[in-house]
Amino acid sequence: MAVLSRLIPSATSAYLLQAALALIFVPQQNEKYYDLGGAAGFLSTSLLSLYYPALKAKFNHGVPLPPITSFAPRQLLVTAALGLWSARLGSFLVARALKAGGDSRFDEVKKDPKRFSFFWFAQATWVFVVGLPVYLVNTVPPVLHPALSRRDYLALGLFAGSFLFEVIADRQKTQWRRAKDAKRHDENFISSGLWAISRHPNYVGEVGIHIGIWALATGSLTSIHFPTGTAVAALASPLLTYFLLRKVETIVASARSFVNDVTQVSGVPPLEKAGDKKFGADPKWQQYKRPKHGTGVLALGPFGVIGRVMINFRQRVGQYPQFFVSATACLFPPPAMISASLVLAACAFAGIADAHPYHDQQPMAHDLERLVDVIDVTTEPWGSKFGLQTDLPYSGPLSFAHLPYSKCLEDGQSRFDIAILGLPFDTTTSYRPGARFGPTGIRIGSRRQHIEGYTLAWNSSPHELGASILDCGDVPLTPVDNAQALEQMEVAYTTLLNRPVQGGTNTAYKSSTAALAKDGSEHPRLVTLGGDHTIVLPILRSLNKVYGPVSVIHFDAHLDTWAPPPLSTGIGRINHGSFFAIAAEEHLIANNSIHGGIRCHMGRQDIVHDTEVGFQLISAEDIDDYGVDQIISKIRQRVGNSPVYLSLDIDVIDPGLAPATGTPEVGGWTTPDITSIAAAEIIFDFLNMMQMDAPPKPHVGPF
């Protein structure tokens, strides 16, 4: 379970920090900073979960740490929400403990080192379990998180409202206590402000906070990048909070230190008992506890009314307990002055449950206003028995390596750092057509690769290297007019090349395009899937508008610099063996370009013309004489710091390994040869790689 293994750093961080603090404060019998330790645990563990892949990439590969803005909005929101809550609550409790000269909860506990140590261990468990939705969201790269939907904004609103609810309740209780100490009133208990609508509004706010964070996280946790049931497992966060505050009675008086709420006594049952003991004979207290009109209808209402709404609304939540999502209004017994508006608010909060799981689809038509009409799929045979409809490695929408997919040419709002673009074109090839099916074939082959696949050569996942990647589909090319098809390819490529970048996490990657572009702006990189090799000509024409002439690294069995046929004119001059010569005529390529893997039949004049076009030649046999490292060194020396276009023809690989090519040539390079040269070393060690027209072996290159 890759996701579970990625939780290990977060769990380790939570327990190590509390262990370190226990080593300091247990011998001193000092409990004043216990709550600060809890807040520090949430802050440090959530930040580590966010930055751990980047820290690992920096340590292993020297990749610069990304700016905070490079992460997915959902990651930033859930991390910030958890951090804001923990920092506010921790500082509130620490300030109170320091003002009081200590924390009375630990008067006896701190004298026993074993018991006191246990509470630090319990706090580590609390930090890990309550923060679980955040840590889970941060286990996958930013590019894999779906965009925020309307339900996410509802979840964010629930968090913000609950946070404000808790802060106001604390403030009102503090002001009430100060006024009582100053003898400005003689009330035995607070029953004004938010305390007029709930006897424990701070607890209501706290549980609502964790429901909101969990609901905001489910947009990612219910996607295909997490195991089925991950969102259900993440319910441990609000469930634990609810259980400790509402249900625990015999142990919560001591375990309150583990819960870190804002009252001197822990949980609802002890507070209720304490209130009954102090004010049981007071008619005002009895009236305060009694629901409106002396009945319990409104207290039970959320379970009944909202529960019935949720039966129809829970389209995607699966097996989540329906009582829990609607628990905001029914966690604690309401006082007499509770109004029906609280029930309506809970109905609105319940809307967060339908967290949309797919990264490439728009929210479905059954929104909040159509709750009653939504079919509950969990009551149908499939949903009730098997849960979500997840994609298998060989099924689902066809995109490269299960990447997010969009028809970028018609979706002007799509943003990316790297785009996968298919060019299904083969009408300028000779002898053997069929390359038009290449983009589909490549995508089918890539389906077996998991989106979170691990690269042993880099000791990391390519998707953790900091770029937002999107499959933009295929360009619809005419099969009957080559001139128009070339124009279609150039216009499509130019359109996407000038899209604003999404902004990945690798700052060096981002700046390389801006530094080389003529306009000084950042441009995305495109990986095109062919198609016969003629697709390079319209691509180079498009690149020339942004970067000027580029150096070409060309891996192929053939030169592809042959002069056009002598008697041909117009579009007839262009074919899959002459496009580099025409590109040189149009001044699209620099004179420091290089071939690799060449082994075709050629004459002396072909070599002379190839040199005139601007290429240096590395033959297929050179890899046996010099080895991979020397080949890489030669390429480095040749292209220097120029902007680079990488072109990879399938026939550079020996036909014994890749037989389905139109012009096979024996004696080619092996798959490890080409992946080592084209991907693992060249791209990240030195090249200003702008674009490429074929993907390297999955899980070896950065794409």
Q: 400-692 — its CATH code?
A: 3.40.800.10
Span(s) in the chain for CATH 3.40.800.10: 400-692
Structure-token pair, residue 516:
């080389």
What distance in Å separates the CA atoms of residue 260 and residue 263, rounded to the nearest whole number?
9
Residue 596 has pLDDT above 90, yes or no: yes
Calculate the dihedral angle through the C-alpha atoms of 325, 331, 334, 338, rounding to the nearest 10 degrees: -20
Q: What is the model's pLDDT at position 513?
A: 81
Q: What is the model's pLDDT at position 450?
A: 67
Give the lowest-confidence range in 10-19, 215-224, 429-438: 429-438
Structure-token pair, residue 688:
């200003």
Q: What is the model's pLDDT at position 464?
A: 64
User: Can you name the residues that pair with 643 across neighbouring β-strands?
Assistant: 688
Q: What is the model's pLDDT at position 392?
A: 62
Within 10 Å of residue 40's Cβ, how many Cβ atoms? 18
CB contact set of 492 (below 8 Å; sequence gap of 6+): 409, 421, 475
Q: 146-149: long-range contacts at Cβ-Cβ below 8 A with a sequence spacing of 24 or more?
A: 146/74, 146/219, 146/220, 146/223, 146/356, 146/357, 146/358, 146/359, 146/360, 147/73, 147/359, 148/73, 148/74, 148/77, 148/219, 149/219, 149/355, 149/356, 149/363
Give the lowest-confidence range in 99-103, 388-392, 634-638: 388-392
Give the lowest-confidence range in 10-14, 145-149, 257-261, 413-417: 257-261
Q: 664-669: long-range contacts at Cβ-Cβ below 8 A with a sequence spacing of 24 or more?
A: 664/557, 665/557, 665/558, 665/599, 665/600, 666/599, 667/599, 667/620, 667/621, 668/557, 668/597, 668/599, 668/620, 669/555, 669/597, 669/620, 669/623
Chain centre to alpha carbon of residue 71: 7
Within 10 Å of residue 149's Cβ, how many Cβ atoms? 20
Residue 594: pLDDT band with limits 50, 70, 90: very high
pLDDT, one tens digit per residue, over 317-376 is 333 333 333 333 333 333 433 333 333 333 333 333 333 333 333 333 333 333 334 445
What distance in Å separates the CA atoms of residue 21 and residue 33, rounded to the nearest whole number?
9
pLDDT, one tens digit per residue, over 617-633 is 999 999 999 998 899 88
Q: What is the model's pLDDT at position 535?
A: 94
The percentage of the chain sitting over the pLDDT mark of 90, rounded to a whole number, equals 29
Planar angle of CA 143, 146, 150, nearest 5 degrees: 145
pLDDT, one tens digit per residue, over 106-147 is 778 888 888 989 989 999 999 999 999 999 999 887 877 888
Question: How many residues belong to the chain?
Answer: 703
CB contact set of 408 (below 8 Å; sequence gap of 6+): 414, 416, 419, 421, 470, 472, 473, 496, 499
Q: Bigger pLDDT: 32 or 376? A: 32
Residue 251 has pLDDT above 60, yes or no: no
CA distances from 161 to 155, 158, 164, 202, 235 (A): 10, 5, 5, 12, 20
Please, what is the average pLDDT of the chain? 75
Q: What is the DSSP letter of 326?
A: T
DSSP secondary structure, 349-365, as one string: HHGGG-----TTSPPPS
Q: What is the model's pLDDT at position 242?
A: 85
Q: What is the model's pLDDT at position 182?
A: 83
